Structure 1
Amino acid sequence: MRFYYQNIDTCLPVSATRALQFTQARIPSGVRNAWVWGIAVVVIAAMGVANAPLSSAEDLQSVAATSYRNAATDHGSLSGSRRSLRETPTVTAIRRAAPSVVNLHGQKTIRQTAASMAGSSNDVARQVNGMGTGVVIDPRGYVVTNYHVVEDVYEINVTLHDGSTTTADLIASDPSNDLALVKLRGAGPFQTIPRGHSNDLMVGEPVIAIGNAFGYVHTSTVGIVSALHRDIPVNETQSYRDLIQTSAGINPGNSGGPLLNIDGEIIGVNVAVRVGAQQIAFAIPIDQVLDTVTEMIVRHNDRRFVIGLQGKSVQEGGFQVVDLIDGGSAQRGGLKAGDRIIKVDNDKINTPLQYALSVLDASPGENLRVEFQRGNETYETFVATVPSSTGSADPVASLAWQVIGVAVRPAGDSFTRRMNSQMQTNYRGGLVITDVRPGSAADEQSIRVGDVLLGIHSWQTSSLADLAEILQHPEIRQGPNAKFYIVRRDQTLYGHMKLAVQPSTTRR
Structure 2
Amino acid sequence: MGVLLSMGLLAGLTVGTGGDESVRADDLQSVTATSFRSSEASVRDTRSTGRSSRSLRETPTVTAIRRASPSVVNLHGQKTIRTTAASMAGGAPDSFRQVNGMGTGVVIDPRGYVITNYHVVEDVSELNVTLHSGEATRADLIASDPQSDLALVKLRGQGPFPTIPRGHSDDLMIGETVIAIGNAFGYVHTSTEGIISALHRDVPVNETQQYRDLIQTSAGINPGNSGGPLLNIDGEMIGVNVAVRVGAQQIAFAIPIDQVLETVTEMINRHNNRRMVIGMDGSAVSRGGVQVTRLSEGGSAHQAGLQTGDRLVRINQQNIADPLNYELSVLELGPGDPMQVEFERDGEFFQTQLATAVTSQEFGDPAAALAWQVVGVSVRPAGESFVRRMNSRLRTNYRGGLIVTDVRAGSAASEQGITAGDVLLGIHVWQTAGLEDLAEILDQPNIRRGSKAKFYLVRKDQTLYGHLQLASQGNQLTRR
Measured against the shorter chain, the TM-score band is 0.7 to 0.9
Q: Which amino acid aligns with 1:157?
A: N
Alignment partner of 2:435 out of 460, 464, 471:
471
Residues 13 and 127 of structure 1 are in contact (CA less than 8 Å); yes or no, is this contact kept in structure 2?
Answer: no
For residues 448 and 397 of structure 1, what CA distance do their matches in structure 2 show? 25
**Shift of the alpha carbon at 1:385?**
1.1
Once structures 1 and 2 are overlaid, which stretch shifts more, 488-497 or 79-88? 488-497
Residues 454 and 465 of structure 2 are in contact (CA less than 8 Å); yes or no, is this contact kept in structure 1?
Answer: no
**Shift of the alpha carbon at 1:269?**
0.2
Q: Does 1:294 align with 2:293?
A: no
CA distance 1:271–1:478, shift in 2 (3 Å): closer
CA distance 1:290–1:108, shift in 2 (3 Å): same
CA distance 1:490–1:215, shift in 2 (3 Å): farther
Q: How does 1:49-448 map to 2 (within 5 A)?
A: 84-115=55-86, 123-389=94-360, 393=361, 400-405=368-373, 406-408=376-378, 431=403, 434-436=406-408, 448=415
Provide the residue aligned with 1:57 in structure 2: none
Q: Which amino acid aligns with 1:12?
A: A
Q: Which amino acid aligns with 1:152?
A: D
For residues 355 and 402 of structure 1, what CA distance do their matches in structure 2 show? 28
TM-score, scaled relative to structure 2: 0.78
**Shift of the alpha carbon at 1:493?**
3.2
Query: Which SS does the other structure have where 1:371 is aligned?
Result: strand
For residues 125 and 237 of structure 1, what CA distance do their matches in structure 2 show? 24
Q: Which amino acid aligns with 1:89?
A: P
CA-to-aligned-CA distance 1:269-308 (integer Å, 9 cap, x gap): 0001111111000000010101111111111112221111
**Shift of the alpha carbon at 1:149?**
0.4
Q: Which amino acid aligns with 2:368?
A: A
Q: Which amino acid aligns with 2:6?
A: N
Residues 229 and 244 of structure 1 are in contact (CA less than 8 Å); yes or no, is this contact kept in structure 2?
Answer: yes
For residues 472 and 47 of structure 1, what CA distance do their matches in structure 2 show? 55
Any stretches of 5+ residues in structure 2 without a counterpart? 24-45, 448-452, 475-480
**Shift of the alpha carbon at 1:450?**
2.4
For residues 69 and 92 of structure 2, what CA distance do their matches in structure 1 show? 45
Q: Does 1:450 align with 2:417?
A: yes
Alignment partner of 1:493 out of 463, 467, 479:
467
CA distance 1:116–1:360, shift in 2 (3 Å): closer
Residues 298 and 356 of structure 1 are in contact (CA less than 8 Å); yes or no, is this contact kept in structure 2?
Answer: yes
For residues 129 and 117 of structure 1, what CA distance do their matches in structure 2 show? 20
Any stretches of 5+ residues in structure 1 without a counterpart? 15-42, 53-74, 501-508
**Shift of the alpha carbon at 1:114?**
3.6
Q: Which amino acid aligns with 1:471?
A: L
Query: Which SS does the other structure have where 2:258 is aligned?
Result: helix
**Shift of the alpha carbon at 1:326?**
1.6
**Shift of the alpha carbon at 1:316?**
1.9
Query: Which SS does the other structure have where 2:425 is aligned?
Result: strand
CA distance 1:210–1:337, shift in 2 (3 Å): same
Residues 427 and 456 of structure 2 are in contact (CA less than 8 Å); yes or no, is this contact kept in structure 1?
Answer: no
Query: Which SS does the other structure have where 1:176 is aligned?
Result: coil
Residues 484 and 495 of structure 1 are in contact (CA less than 8 Å); yes or no, is this contact kept in structure 2?
Answer: no
Residues 2 and 247 of structure 2 are in contact (CA less than 8 Å); yes or no, is this contact kept in structure 1?
Answer: no
Provide the residue aligned with 2:32 in structure 1: none
For residues 409 and 128 of structure 2, what CA distance do their matches in structure 1 show? 23
Provide the residue aligned with 1:12 in structure 2: 11
Q: Percent identity?
A: 59
For residues 146 and 396 of structure 1, what CA distance do their matches in structure 2 show? 33
* Aligned residue-pair number: 427
For residues 236 and 414 of structure 2, what CA distance do their matches in structure 1 show? 38
CA distance 1:398–1:161, shift in 2 (3 Å): farther
Residues 240 and 256 of structure 2 are in contact (CA less than 8 Å); yes or no, is this contact kept in structure 1?
Answer: yes
